[in-house]
Amino acid sequence: MTTSQHDVTAALQEALCQRIGLPRYRLWFENKTKLTWEDDRLRVGVANHFFQEWLQKTFAEDIGGAARVVLGQPVSVCFAIDPELFQAARREQAEHGPAVSLVRGSLSEDHGPQEHDQHDLPTLAPRPGTTGQGPQGRPRGNRRWHELADFVVGPCNRVAHAAALSLVEEPGQGPIPLVFHGPVGSGKTHLLEGIHAGLRKSKPDWRLCYVTAEDFTNRFVQAMRLGKLTAFRKHFRECDAFLLDDLHFLANKPATQEEFLHTLNSLLAEDRQVAVSCDCHPRLAEQFLPELTDRLLGGAVWGLNLPDRDTRLDLLRAKVARRRSLIAEEVLAFLADQLRGNVRELEGALHSIHHLSRVSGRRIDLALAKEVVSELLRHSVRLLHFADVEKALCAVLGLNPSDLQSRKRGWSHCHPRMLAMYLARKVTGASYTEIGQRFGGRNHSTTLAAEKKVKKWLDEDSSLTLGQRQLRVRAVIDRVTQELLR
């Protein structure tokens, strides 16, 4: 390795990127800092004092460690304002107006800058008069929004899709707020974006706000720091429709939850449209404020599940048609049968198939598809059914399947049945209603309550008494999981 300034800087950048990860490096260092090696000292040039304090507190150890690896000796690291970066930041501020802050980091609610990835997003204060902004403060014209017409409907998402469509076609006629919940890749964000795109067409005079919960948090904290809470609240509370993605991000952030709650109350009082997405049912979000959970349950809550086989096949057909490519039906059927994860897994398989076909010059057939997805199949978990859960749980607890399906209310039947409901929800992807019907002919609210109870047992490391035995819930779950993986 040469000792030129350029090579040393490049090596330092690569070493730092490896230590903190490419996303964080791009966010905090790429085009925002200058690394200069002079007289056994590494100088980190930054644009402003806040950025200097934040980087020094959060990344000084990582920068020093990267420098030791590259230079092979202990290194003194100093931070300083770089005139060129400072002027560039001033020019950016002038271009976007005084409402755009030079602050690039985010703060936690209570303790200032944090170094966790979930807080590592830059934020911009809302620009006056801008409507329909995207999750990162981009004007709505700078991104392609998913539309409800492109949403592939199946048994796993039919009701949620109908609710989203109703909000667009008849705004103000349905319950508020509208809450979508489900696992990653089930289509929650697509529905929210579809609502946004639909309202833009049907209500062009409306002011729409679409943000992620993380962006809402960052803007709120920045507004507190800069004394601009009035402008922040005006931006969100005076919109005609407010769409918030990934509400679960607000867990363990009581101050932001309270601010969102007040925003929600203000919008509900004016009959404004509100739709949010979350990774679980509000009743299971134990880290939400009770008042927030109550407000969410006061609207309509609809779940989305991972796509079933027929829906997976329809998804693949739709994506192939959108790409205007030709893939045989037998190939699509093979993918739908073998890949039982979320939509992104299906998309990834299609991308890989097209890429291999292009670079190898081979036509897309069943053999090529099997080759592409072989690695995925090797590491995929087999699809589990209710019978698998029953068999594994009965083997561990020494019960009969009829005990789990019984409607008896004694603890000897009730507690194992609750464990079965929890495990079924965890490994089968079935709906709450399906699980409740299987185990004791219960309704979906009973399954929800059972899942919440077992989670509490696990959090408290509780034990259950079954006959003469005292069993730790965590140990039972672990043993049943091992049985399921055999």
SS3 assignment for 373-437: HHHHHHHCCCCCCHHHHHHHHHHHHCCCHHHHHCCCCCHHHHHHHHHHHHHHHHHCCCCHHHHHH
The C-alpha atoms of residue 394 and residue 388 are separated, in whole angstroms, by 10
Going through 138-283 in order, the beta strands assigned E by DSSP cover: 178-181, 208-212, 241-245, 273-278
- pLDDT higher at 125 or 26: 26
Are residues 316 and 353 in contact, defined by beta-carbon separation less than 8 angstroms?
no
- pLDDT higher at 4 or 71: 71
User: Model confidence over 95-130: pLDDT tens digits?
Assistant: 543 333 333 333 333 333 333 333 333 333 333 333
Lay out the sheet containing 273-278: strands in order across: 208-212, 241-245, 273-278, 178-181, 300-303
Please give the C-alpha separations between residue 158 and each of 65, 191, 304, 309, 421, in angstroms, as whole numbers.
52, 11, 8, 15, 23
User: Model confidence over 370-397: pLDDT tens digits?
Assistant: 887 776 655 554 557 888 888 888 888 8
* φ, ψ at 40 (rounded to 5°): 60, 25
Tell me the domain boundaries of the chain.
Answer: 5-96, 124-303, 309-379, 386-485
What's the pLDDT score for residue 132? 42
Which of 102, 148, 142, 108 has the alpha carbon at shortest distance from 125? Answer: 102
CATH of domain 386-485: 1.10.1750.10
What's the pLDDT score for residue 4? 64
User: Which of 100-114, 158-172, 301-315, 468-482 has the lowest average pLDDT?
Assistant: 100-114
Q: How many residues does the chain have?
A: 486
CATH of domain 309-379: 1.10.8.60
Q: Indicate whether 210 pLDDT > 90.
A: yes
- Among the CATH numbers 3.40.1260.10, 3.30.70.141, 3.30.565.10, 3.40.50.300, which is that of 124-303? 3.40.50.300
Please give the structure tokens belonging to residue 280: 């679980």
Which of 306, 384, 302 has the alpha carbon at shortest distance from 346? Answer: 306
The reply to whether the predicted model has a pTM over 0.85 is: no
pLDDT band at 252 (very low <50, low <70, confident <90, very high): confident
The C-alpha atoms of residue 313 and residue 450 are separated, in whole angstroms, by 33
User: Model confidence over 143-188: pLDDT tens digits?
Assistant: 678 889 889 898 888 999 999 999 998 888 888 999 999 888 889 9
* φ, ψ at 36 (rounded to 5°): -130, 130
Beta bridge partner(s), residue 207: none
Q: DSSP label at 133?
A: B
Fold of domain 5-96: GMP Synthetase; Chain A, domain 3 (3.30.300)
User: Model confidence over 423-438: pLDDT tens digits?
Assistant: 888 877 677 888 888 8
Please give the C-alpha separations between residue 357 and each of 210, 257, 334, 344, in angstroms, as whole numbers.
38, 49, 17, 20
Q: Indicate whether 259 pLDDT > 90.
A: yes
- Residue 337: burial class (beta carbons within 10 Å; 0-12, 13-18, 19+): exposed
What's the pLDDT score for residue 68? 84
What's the pLDDT score for residue 78? 86
pLDDT band at 344 (very low <50, low <70, confident <90, very high): confident
The C-alpha atoms of residue 64 and residue 59 are separated, in whole angstroms, by 9
Q: Calculate what percentage of the chain has a pLDDT beyond 90.
A: 23
What's the pLDDT score for residue 485? 59
What's the pLDDT score for residue 143? 67
**Three-class SS of residue 347?**
helix
455-471 mean pLDDT: 81
Mean pLDDT of the chain: 79
Which of 336, 425, 428, 349 has the alpha carbon at shortest distance from 383? Answer: 428
